[in-house]
């Protein structure tokens, strides 16, 4: 009867607009939070987005309004050698650096070494990975993928290791370079056996072997300090493993056998009757019945450089050795990396590589070798993926907790691979100076056993920060 609506029941247009606005604000906050914590990675990138999808940190903006230079852009400026020397003169006198301090600063525009100091070669620690990664990008196709496969000979299956450094038992999207897994390979193998059975060629039960013939030599480097493998510091190097040979925090002494045992369990879950124990075997010369494609060389380089992954670096060095016709062992990897870099124009005088990771104290690298490797990546874009993976001071990787603060500390302006062993500390990468010009830099010390490691590290960071504050370009 009463057709008039009560005023109390009406919603005013103003309140409606305000309510919608509040909902949009809350939704925006939730999306931003999910983005920042990586919860949207699976939607945006199909998993972990990886280094190439990470925006430059806010600290890269300079107080003087000059943006930090993109290292992939063409370089035309030249560097003032006197300004570089003046900037480093104070920091290099720090007692915390010890008596053996090696430095090289290279102008990427000209390829000229504008400053050098100290011994001809030093122990490099993990800055060795700069050379291994660069050689991998040059000698191998950056888009080449590491393949793990299964071969069949009657009722015998062989799991063939293809040297995928980031092969896992099952995908959980937690690792940028973890692109292949044994769970998927087991599913594909079971499907292939079922297809064979439908054609009257399927075995009722199978045995399982594993093939590690891609690599040669021992998995434990005799030049490493005793206890690296037995002390769970590094996994024996093999062309087949899952999760770098680590299960529940424990490294396997036989990572290939452990991977094969895992694969046998996964096959049984797929209904395949696997009999007996897994055995070391050689794959038959037949087409594989199932494969999984792992990370690309480019992705592996980015991951191992950012996280300083020792095992992945050693695997990559062996792939470089194979590409150069060398034995796929520690010695062959070192020889091949040196050959590739020399052919690319990197000076290699005095270079001695006993491994690809830098764990060996027998390694010797000249600072200029490291600096020139970085300079070539900047000037000729020979290996930009290596530069993109270098940790950023104050923001990522092994430099995340260093150079905290503004640009004066080097935060956001230093991108470098770190190296650390007892008494050994190093940085190799590039610094963006006060004019936005990149300087390829290697800072190395290898005689600081009696000095606090934190003090030495801070002194190296101070030298890098001095270059970032220098109007050198």
pLDDT band at 69 (very low <50, low <70, confident <90, very high): very low
- pLDDT of residue 45 exceeding 50: no
**Residue range 378-397, pLDDT digits in tens:** 876 667 778 888 999 999 99
Q: Quick one: average pLDDT of 325-336?
A: 98
User: DSSP letter string over 77-123?
Assistant: ----HHHHHHHHHTGGG-GGG-S-EEEEEEETTTTEEEEEES-S-B-
pLDDT value for 379:
76
Place of tokens 């063939």: 160
- pLDDT of residue 446 exceeding 60: yes
Q: How far apart are CA 415 and CA 436, in angstroms?
A: 14
pLDDT band at 2 (very low <50, low <70, confident <90, very high): very low
Q: How far apart are CA 354 and CA 190, in angstroms?
A: 42
pLDDT value for 216:
97
| CA distance between the termini of the chain | 86
pLDDT value for 173:
60
CA distances from 314 to 125, 160, 318 (A): 14, 19, 6
**Residue range 146-184, pLDDT digits in tens:** 999 999 999 999 999 999 999 999 987 667 899 999 999
- pLDDT of residue 17 exceeding 90: no
pLDDT value for 303:
93
**Residue range 416-425, pLDDT digits in tens:** 999 999 999 9
Share of the chain above pLDDT 90, in %: 76
């Amino acid at each position: 009867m009463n057709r008039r609506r009560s005023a109390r029941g009406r919603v005013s247009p103003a309140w409606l607009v305000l309510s919608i606005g509040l909902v949009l604000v809350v939704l925006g906050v939730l999306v931003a939070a999910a983005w920042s914590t990586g919860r949207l990675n699976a939607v945006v990138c199909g998993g972990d987005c990886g280094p190439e999808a990470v925006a430059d940190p806010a600290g890269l903006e300079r107080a003087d309004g000059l943006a930090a230079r993109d290292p992939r852009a063409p370089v035309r400026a030249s560097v003032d050698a006197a300004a570089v020397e003046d900037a480093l003169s104070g920091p290099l006198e720090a007692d915390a650096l010890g008596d053996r301090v090696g430095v090289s600063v290279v102008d990427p525009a000209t390829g000229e070494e504008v400053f050098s100091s100290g011994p001809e070669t030093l122990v490099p620690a993990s800055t060795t990975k700069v050379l291994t990664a660069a050689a991998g990008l040059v000698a191998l196709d950056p888009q080449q993928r590491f393949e793990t496969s299964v071969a069949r000979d009657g009722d015998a299956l062989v799991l063939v290791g293809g040297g995928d450094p980031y092969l896992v038992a099952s995908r959980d999207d937690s690792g940028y370079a973890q692109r292949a897994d044994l769970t998927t390979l087991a599913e594909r193998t079971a499907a292939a056996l079922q297809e064979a059975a439908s054609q009257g060629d399927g075995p009722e039960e199978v045995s399982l072997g594993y093939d590690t013939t891609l690599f040669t030599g021992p998995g434990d480097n005799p030049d490493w300090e005793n206890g690296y493998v037995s002390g769970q510091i590094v996994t024996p190097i093999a062309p087949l493993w899952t999760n770098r040979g680590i299960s529940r925090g424990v490294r396997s002494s036989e990572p290939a056998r452990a991977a094969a045992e895992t694969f046998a369990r996964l096959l049984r879950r797929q209904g395949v009757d696997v009999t007996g124990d897994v055995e070391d075997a050689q794959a038959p010369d037949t087409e594989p019945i199932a494969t999984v494609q792992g990370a690309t060389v480019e992705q592996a380089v980015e991951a191992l450089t950012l996280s300083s992954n020792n095992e992945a670096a050693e695997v990559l060095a062996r792939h470089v050795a194979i590409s150069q016709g060398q034995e796929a062992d520690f010695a062959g990897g070192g020889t091949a990396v040196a050959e590739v870099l020399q052919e690319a124009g990197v000076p290699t005088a005095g270079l001695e590589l006993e491994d690809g990771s830098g764990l060996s104290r027998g390694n010797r690298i000249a600072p200029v070798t490291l600096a020139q490797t970085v300079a070539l990546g900047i000037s000729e874009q020979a290996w930009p993926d290596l530069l993109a993976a270098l940790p950023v001071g104050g923001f990522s990787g092994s430099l995340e907790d260093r150079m905290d603060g503004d640009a004066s500390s080097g935060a956001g302006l230093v991108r470098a691979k770190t190296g650390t062993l007892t008494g050994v500390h190093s940085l190799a990468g590039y610094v963006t100076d006060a004019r936005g010009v990149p300087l390829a830099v290697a800072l190395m010390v290898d005689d600081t056993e009696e000095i606090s490691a934190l003090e030495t590290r801070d002194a190296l960071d101070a030298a890098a920060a001095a270059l970032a504050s220098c109007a050198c370009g």
